[in-house]
Amino acid sequence: MSWERELEELAARQAFAARMGGAEGVARQHARGKLTVRERIDALADPDSFREFMGLTGQATYEADRLIDFVPRPAVEGMLRLDGRKVVVTGGDFTVRGGSGGAGGGLGSELPANRRALEWRIPFVRLLDAAGGSVRSFEEIGRTYLPDGNVWSTVDVQLLSRVPVVSAVLGSVAGLPAINACLAHFNLMIRDTSQLFPGGPPVVKAALGYDITKEELGGAQIHTRRSGVVDNVAEDEHDAFRQIRRFLSYLPASVWELPPRGDTTDPVTRREDALLSVVPRDRRQVYDAHRILDAVLDRDSFFEIAPRYGAARITGLGRINGFPVGVMANNPRQKGGTTDLAAGSKVIRLIQLCDTFHLPLVSFADEPGFMVGLEAELAGIERAGARLVQTVCESRIPWITFVVGRLYGVAGQCHHRPSGMFRRYAWPSANWGSMHVAGGAAAAYRREIESAPDPEARRAEIEARLNALASPFRTAEATGQDIIDPRDTRRLLAEFVEDAQAVLATQLGPPAIPYRV
C-alpha cells in the first residue's frame, strides 16, 4: 500500500503556497515595479540551489476535513547557494497581508531562519518587504500582546558577531523589519522603490499631524545621503542581488574561517607611474583618491560601501594578490577629506567589519583632521572622535597605513595603532604635525604677528620657517619613518597582506568586542 494520496495532498499544499497572496496580490506587486519573494529568491540564488523550509506553514481552510484553500505565512525562507557558497535567506512576502507578521509559532515550531544561520555558521540574507506588525493580528489571536520581539532580536544581535548579515530593503519597510534592516553588516535599498521608517505616513499623520509621502519620509535619498542608515542604493532589484553577491564574496562563511582568496592574475609587481603625480604639489588642488585605489588594488576589485554618505572618507572592500582587505582613504574632493561625524562612523563600521571577519585593513591617509566649526560642535564631534580613537585602539586585525598627503592631529593618529601587527609607510608627498602650519602659526604666534609693523609679512615669514621643518625626510632622520617610492606601494602592500594571513589565523572565532551597529 503506497502513500500516493498523501503525496497528492503535499503537492496540492505546495501549489497553494506557490500562489503566495493570490493572482491579485501578485499583480499589485508587479504593478509597483517589484518582484515577488519567490522571483527574488530565484534571481538571487545559483540555479536550482534553493531549499525551502517551513514552506507548509500558513492558514488552511477545510470543508469536511478536506483542504480547500491555504494562505501561506507572509515569508519564504530556506537555504540557497551564492557562487557555490551556502547562505540562509528570509524574504518577506508583501502579497500576503503586506508582509505583516501574524499569529504563529509555539511549542514544536521549527527553528526560524536566523537561528539556522547561527547554528549552521553560514551567512544570513534578509530580503525585506514587510510592513511590520498589523492590528489584524489582534483579531486572529483574540487579544493584544505585550511587545516582546527581543526573543527573536537577541538572535539577530548574536549573528552580527558570528556570520555575515546582509539586509536588502526592497519595498516599504516599517516596524521591526526596519530595525532588522540595520542589524546587518551591509544593507541597501532600491532607488524610487524602497522606503524605510519605524512608522509610515498614516502613523506620522496620527502622531504629528502633517502629511508626507513615503519617499519624502524614508526614501533612498534620505537614508543613503543624509541619515546614513543605509549603505548603498541599487538601480533595481537585480542590481541589488549583484551587490549582495559581491559583498559576501569578500567575507568568510563565519568568524571561524578566513576569507576566501580570489583571482590572482594581476601581478603584485605591477608599478603605476601615475602614482608619482596623483597627489599635486599645490596643496590647494584636490585629486581623485579613487585613482590611488585603482592603481594599487587588484584590478576592478574595489567594492565601495556607503559612497553617498560621509563622502569625505572612502570605505569599502578590495583585494590584493587575491586576498580580501578592508580599504579606506581620505577623499580631498569632499570637505577636503576632513573627518566629520559621518565619515568617522563609516570608519568605525569598517574597522569592526574587518576585526570580526579577519580582513587586513589598509589606509591611504591624507588627513587634515577632525571637522571644526559650530555645526561640528553641535553634533558632538569630540565624543564622535573619542569613539573613533577607542575603536582604533581596541582593534586587533593587521593594519597598514600609507601616508600619501597630510596627517594632522588626533584624526591623524586614528590612522595609526601602537599594538598588534601594524605597518606605516609614507610617500614623499606626505606632511604631518599636530595641526596645519597656517592655522597653528596664527594661534601660536598671534601676539608676534599682531605687533609687527607688517602683520601679513610676519605671518608669511613664520609660516615659511615652519614649512621648512615639515619635510618628511627630517622626520625620518629622527624617527626612522620609512618613505617609499609611491610606485612600490602595491608590492609592499601585497607582502604585508600575505604575512598577515598567519596572524589572522590565530584570531579565528568571535571578536573580542562584539560587533556594534
pLDDT at 441: 59
**Are 304 and 341 contacting, i.e. CB atoms less than 8 angstroms apart?**
no
pLDDT band at 70 (very low <50, low <70, confident <90, very high): confident
pLDDT at 103: 46
What is the average pLDDT across 441-465?
A: 76
Structure pTM?
0.92
pLDDT at 443: 65
Same fold, 8-105+112-249 and 273-427+484-505: yes
- Please give the order of strands across the beta sheet that includes 51-53: 51-53, 75-82, 85-92, 124-128, 165-169, 186-190, 232-234
Positions of E strands within 368-504: 399-408, 422-426, 431-433, 482-483
Task: Give the list of residues 6+ apart from residue 471 with CB closer than 8 angstroms, or none.
Answer: 431
CATH class of 8-105+112-249: alpha beta
Q: CA–CA separation, 352 vs 511, rounded Å?
A: 9
Domain range 273-427+484-505, CATH architecture: Alpha-Beta Complex (3.90)
pLDDT band at 440 (very low <50, low <70, confident <90, very high): low
The pLDDT tens digits for 271-307 are 999 999 999 998 889 999 999 999 999 999 999 999 9
Q: Where are the domains of the chain?
A: 8-105+112-249, 273-427+484-505
DSSP state at residue 225? I
DSSP state at residue 224? I
Most confident of 118-132, 144-158, 295-309: 295-309
Which amino acid is residue 248, in one-letter code?
Answer: L
Q: What percent of the chain has pLDDT over 70?
A: 93
The pLDDT tens digits for 369-428 are 999 999 999 999 999 999 999 999 999 999 999 999 999 999 999 999 999 999 999 999
**Are 186 and 240 contacting, i.e. CB atoms less than 8 angstroms apart?**
no
Q: Which of 19-28, 59-68, 456-465 has the lowest average pLDDT? A: 456-465
Q: Is the pLDDT at 499 greater than 90, yes or no?
A: yes
Most confident of 20-29, 59-68, 82-91, 123-132: 82-91
Query: Please, how many CA atoms are within 13 Å of residue 129, restricted to the half-sphere of its CB?
Result: 29
pLDDT at 457: 81
Q: CA–CA separation, 24 vs 434, rounded Å?
A: 65
Burial tier of 87 (Cβ tally within 10 Å: 0-12, 13-18, 19+): buried
